[in-house]
């Protein structure tokens, strides 16, 4: 790993903020790194308020969308809430449908089948709407590129409202209203919302004419926080406000479905990390292994006993998913070796037997072994479908776009995308993608990077510092856990490999300056044991966390990497 020390802010700014807030210089430095330079900005950061949310009517087409929904309700029209099968899509559908049903009964939901229909709006979904007399479809977390589908719906006298957050193409669908803050001519002040976040802005706008305040919408924030966590959007601005308050709902009064999903967990208080690694995979597992409608069913279920039964089924889906992604990852790694592609700059693999629902996870797993942009293909009908994942700093969406002559359809983000192509174009795409990565990927992106917030003497660690650091949460992109670096460290001689496969490293670190001992654990760092033996001096990159053991709570270092001094 490359250790990169972030640019250190000016001492003048750091000292001024430290004095203004009455906090340690280290805390002040971390705040200035995050663009927080005044008392007011710090207050907003540490105490996010729902009042800080922007007026939803600042979003382009919001007034048109609200007017069309109100017209549908006034005319007794049937409304279909349509969304993608992942966490962002299913939470968004659950949010929008449950809110509309609180106002009006003629509302149903539709989640496309991952295998029969694929990502986004489908002709089958529109035919379903037509057959069942729906005249308005509200699409969430999809639709920004569905030019032909919206046109097809229009021919059947079905109107579309699109709530999306993906990058628009050159043409915008001719829907009644398109809500997407990434549209070039949308002046909304924050463009990093997830799909469920855009849906929340729409119900926030609808609430105005219902004489409801933001307080009436708090019960929906558990869904929004779950989507923000799962979709890995920046933890800044409105996302941070929504996630902060959504976590409070999850921990104090979650909806019945989320309560059922966390019922088995031995956790007193969930963090964003718990949402990412515990709740989100279970919601996702429904769409991966069976059908995304199962996720909507549990997230909108009012009865706890019924929700527990649904949660049990989802737990089975999740277990099956884990077994499957391990099996496919092993097969993909074998394929890379057999085709002598270990030295490539990109990973592109294919098997017609691989399960379409887990290829995105497999792509992420492969990056853990071969750190490079990765596409995993499988057969989908008469085409090949892929999930793409990328490494820090490399825009895989743009790279796929440069291979567009071989691609039927694609969409996504900088770090995650999906695409389909014809089987006869697979090898040509694979060669072109490798060529694009070779041409456009700088050498420094080819090695995993640790972005160090600040150097830190271990003697600076204190319960008080940790209490303030905890208030930097919720963490996520652009507001990551502060990562520290310390040098001249030694192990007390009892360092050892731990875990069933000895893959982790447990140390008691001695700080050379004050000879105090600090507990440390390095997950996946078991092979670094030789670097710290025989009293060798070493450097460590780490975050701080609490360790709860036998009723005692203590601070410990979570090691991210170790280097020889």
The full DSSP string for 125-184 is HHHHHHHTTEEEEEEES--TT-HHHHHHHHHTT-EEEEE--SPP-SS----SEEE-TTST
Same domain membership, residue 253 and residue 125? yes
Please tell me whether residue 553 adopts helix, strand or coil conformation: strand
Domain count along the chain: 3
Nearest 5°: phi and psi at 263?
Answer: -55, -40
The two three-digit tokens of residue 1, written as one number: 């790993």
**Residue 171 sits in the same domain as residue 260:** yes
Residue 77 has what DSSP assignment? -
Does any domain span residue 19?
no
pLDDT value, residue 453: 96
Q: Which two tokens stand for residue 553?
A: 């709570």
Strand, helix or coil for residue 326: helix
Has residue 389 been placed in a domain? yes
pLDDT in tens, the chain (565 residues): 899 999 999 999 999 999 999 999 999 999 999 999 999 999 999 999 999 999 999 999 999 999 999 999 999 999 999 999 899 999 999 999 999 999 999 999 999 988 788 778 999 999 999 999 999 999 999 999 999 999 999 999 999 999 999 889 889 999 999 999 999 999 999 999 999 999 999 999 999 999 999 999 999 999 999 999 998 899 999 999 999 999 999 999 999 999 999 887 767 789 999 999 889 989 988 877 788 899 999 999 999 999 999 999 998 988 988 899 999 999 999 999 999 999 999 999 999 999 988 999 999 999 999 999 999 999 988 999 999 999 999 999 999 999 999 999 888 778 888 999 999 999 999 999 999 999 999 999 999 999 999 999 998 898 899 999 999 999 998 999 999 999 989 998 888 999 989 999 999 998 766 678 889 999 999 999 988 888 889 999 999 998 877 778 888 999 999 998 8
Let me know whether 347 and 412 are in one domain: yes
- Give the end of a domain, one of 431, 446, 461: 446
**200: its two tokens:** 């929340």
Q: Is residue 324 part of a domain?
A: no
Determine contact, residues 89/81, Cβ cutoff 8 Å: no
The 8-class DSSP code of residue 71 comes to H
Q: Is residue 23 part of a domain?
A: no
Same domain, 209 and 223: yes
- Beta pairing class for 409-412 and 374-380: unpaired
User: Quick check: helix, strand or coil at residue 352?
Assistant: coil
Q: Is residue 496 part of a domain?
A: yes
Q: Which domain holds residue 364?
A: 339-446
Residue 331 domain flag: no
- Cα–Cα distances (Å) from 462 to 459, 469, 546, 554, in that order, read 8, 11, 12, 11
What local confidence, expressed as pLDDT, does residue 533 receive?
81
Which residues lie across from 546 on neighbouring strands?
Answer: 555
The domain boundary residue, chosen from 446, 478, 508? 446
Written as six digits, the tokens of 191 are 């463009």
Instruction: Please tell me whether residue 395 adopts helix, strand or coil conformation.
Output: coil
Residues 174 and 97 in one domain: yes
Tokens (6 digits) for 386: 């892929």
With b for 16 or more beta-carbon neighbours within 10 A and e for fewer, the 350-386 pattern comes to beeebbbbbbbbbbbbbbeebbbbbbbbbebeebbbb
CATH number for the domain that contains residue 117: 3.90.1640.30
**343: exposed, middle or buried (C-beta count within 10 Å: 0-12, 13-18, 19+)?**
exposed
> Residue 493: which CATH number?
2.40.50.460
Rounding to the nearest 10 degrees, give the CA dihedral for residues 431, 435, 441, 442. 140
Distance between start and end Cα atoms, the chain = 15
175 and 162 Cβ atoms separated by less than 8 Å: yes
The CATH number given to whatever domain includes residue 395 is 3.10.310.30
What's the whole-model pTM score?
0.90
Q: Phi and psi (nearest 5°) for 515?
A: 60, 15
Same domain for 441 and 460: no
- Of the candidates 444, 416, 308, the residue with the CA atom closest to the CA atom of residue 84: 416
Q: How distant, in Å, are the alpha carbons of 198, 280, 285, 384 from that of 464?
A: 38, 32, 40, 54
239 and 265 housed in the same domain: yes
Check residue 268 and give its pLDDT.
Answer: 75
Together in a domain, 346 and 307: no
| Nearest-angstrom CA–CA distance, 440 and 112 | 35
Query: Does 306 lie in the same domain as 178?
Result: yes
Q: Which domain-ending residue is among 388, 413, 446?
A: 446
Same domain, 144 and 193: yes
Do 294 and 402 reside in the same domain of the chain? no
| pLDDT at residue 513, rounded to an integer | 62
- Are 147 and 64 in the same domain? yes
What pLDDT is stored for residue 512 in this prediction? 65
């Amino acid at each position: 790993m490359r250790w990169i020390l972030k640019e250190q802010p000016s001492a003048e700014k750091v000292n001024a903020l430290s004095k203004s807030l009455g906090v340690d210089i280290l805390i002040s430095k971390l705040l200035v790194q995050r663009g927080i330079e005044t008392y007011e900005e710090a207050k907003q950061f540490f105490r996010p308020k729902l009042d800080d949310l922007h007026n939803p009517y600042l979003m382009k087409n919001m007034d048109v969308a609200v007017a069309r929904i109100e017209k549908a309700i006034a005319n007794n029209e049937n409304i279909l809430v349509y969304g993608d099968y992942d966490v962002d899509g299913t939470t968004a559908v659950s949010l929008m449908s449950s809110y509309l049903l609180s106002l009006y009964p003629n509302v149903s939901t539709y989640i496309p089948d991952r295998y029969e229909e694929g990502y986004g709006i489908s002709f089958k979904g529109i035919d379903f709407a037509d057959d069942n007399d729906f005249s308005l479809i509200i699409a969430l977390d999809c639709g920004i590129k569905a030019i032909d589908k919206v046109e097809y719906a229009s021919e059947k006298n079905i109107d579309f409202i699109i709530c999306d957050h993906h990058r628009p193409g050159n043409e915008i669908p001719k829907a009644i209203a398109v809500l997407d803050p990434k549209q070039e001519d949308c002046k909304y002040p924050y463009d990093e919302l997830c799909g469920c976040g855009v849906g929340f802005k729409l119900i926030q706008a609808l609430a105005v004419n219902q004489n409801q305040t933001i307080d009436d919408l708090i019960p929906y924030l558990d869904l929004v926080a779950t989507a923000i966590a799962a979709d890995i959007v920046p933890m800044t601005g409105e996302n941070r406000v929504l996630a902060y308050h959504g976590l409070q709902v999850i921990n104090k009064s979650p909806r019945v479905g989320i309560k059922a999903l966390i019922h088995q967990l031995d956790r007193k208080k969930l963090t964003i990390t718990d949402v990412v690694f515990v709740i989100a995979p279970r919601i996702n597992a429904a769409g991966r292994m069976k059908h995304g409608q199962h996720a909507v069913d549990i997230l909108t279920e009012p009865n706890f006993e019924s929700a527990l039964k649904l949660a049990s089924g989802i737990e089975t889906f999740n277990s099956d998913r884990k077994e499957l992604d391990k099996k496919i990852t092993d097969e993909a790694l074998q394929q890379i070796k057999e085709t002598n592609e270990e030295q490539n700059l990109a990973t592109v693999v294919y098997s017609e037997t691989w399960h379409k629902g887990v290829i995105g996870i497999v792509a992420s797993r492969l990056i853990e072994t071969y750190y490079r942009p990765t596409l995993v293909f499988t057969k989908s009908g008469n085409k090949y479908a892929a999930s793409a994942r990328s490494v820090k700093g490399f825009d895989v969406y743009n790279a796929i776009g440069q291979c567009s002559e071989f691609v039927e359809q694609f969409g996504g983000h900088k770090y995650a995308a999906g695409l389909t192509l014809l089987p006869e174009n697979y090898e040509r795409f694979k060669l072109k993608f490798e060529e694009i990565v070779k041409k456009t990927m700088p050498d420094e992106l080819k090695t995993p990077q640790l972005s160090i917030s600040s150097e830190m003497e271990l003697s600076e660690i204190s319960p008080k510092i940790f209490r303030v650091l905890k208030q930097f949460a919720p963490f996520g992109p652009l507001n990551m856990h502060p990562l520290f670096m310390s040098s001249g460290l030694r192990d007390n001689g009892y360092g050892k490999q731990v875990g069933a496969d000895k893959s982790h490293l447990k140390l008691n670190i001695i700080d050379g300056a004050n000879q105090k001992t600090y507990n440390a654990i390095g997950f996946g760092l078991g092979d670094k044991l030789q670097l710290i033996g025989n009293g060798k001096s070493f450097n460590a990159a780490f975050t701080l966390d609490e360790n709860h053991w036998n009723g005692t709570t203590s601070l410990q270092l979570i090691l991210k990497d170790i280097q020889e001094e």
